[in-house]
Amino acid sequence: MRWMIALLALTGSAMAQDVPFDPAVPEQCEANGPELAEREACIGQGANLCMDRMEGGHSTMGMNGCLDAELQYWDGRLNAHYREAMARAKAFDADMATAQNGLLSSEETLREMQWAWITYRDAKCDFVRSQWSGGTGQGPAMLSCLMVETGRQALWLQVQAVNM
């Protein structure tokens, strides 16, 4: 929660200008790589191109705007893939009669895993931010960490939703 307050303060002025983030950039990149590791390499490419295209894109405010735009993109995908994985987990539990057979619930363990992942992501990105000792680089460092970790989890959940 601490990171959200700091994040809002750091991105507010960057949001006032047009941010040329194009979601087609990570989508096209992903289309070229079927393996998870190849698709993870696409995380951040849209933000980098955004910074290159935007006037002042490599300023702290510009970086914050582009990184936050891609973070929001991955967060939307993460939520969609989580819903898909949760629906499949519920169906799996029903098919396996999990409760009646005393088996671990896929639905419950998926929910617990996701909450634990959020705690881990936030702590990891707080640590990354702490390395900037309150300097102007802490905003882009934090947003970059959140973007990368959220993108990785979104892609991982996408695989889980398909394979369940």
12 three-class SS? coil
Predicted pLDDT at 19: 87
Predicted pLDDT at 9: 45
Taking the C-alpha atoms of 136, 138, 140 and 142 in order, what is their torsion angle to the nearest 10 degrees?
A: -160
Place 17 in a pLDDT band, splitting at 50, 70 and 90: low
Interval 122-163: pLDDT, tens: 999 999 999 998 789 999 999 999 999 999 999 999 998 888
What percentage of the chain's residues is helix, strand, coil (to nearest 5)? 75, 0, 25
Q: The dihedral of CA 84, 89, 90, 94: what is its sign?
A: positive
What is the pTM for the complete model shown?
0.85
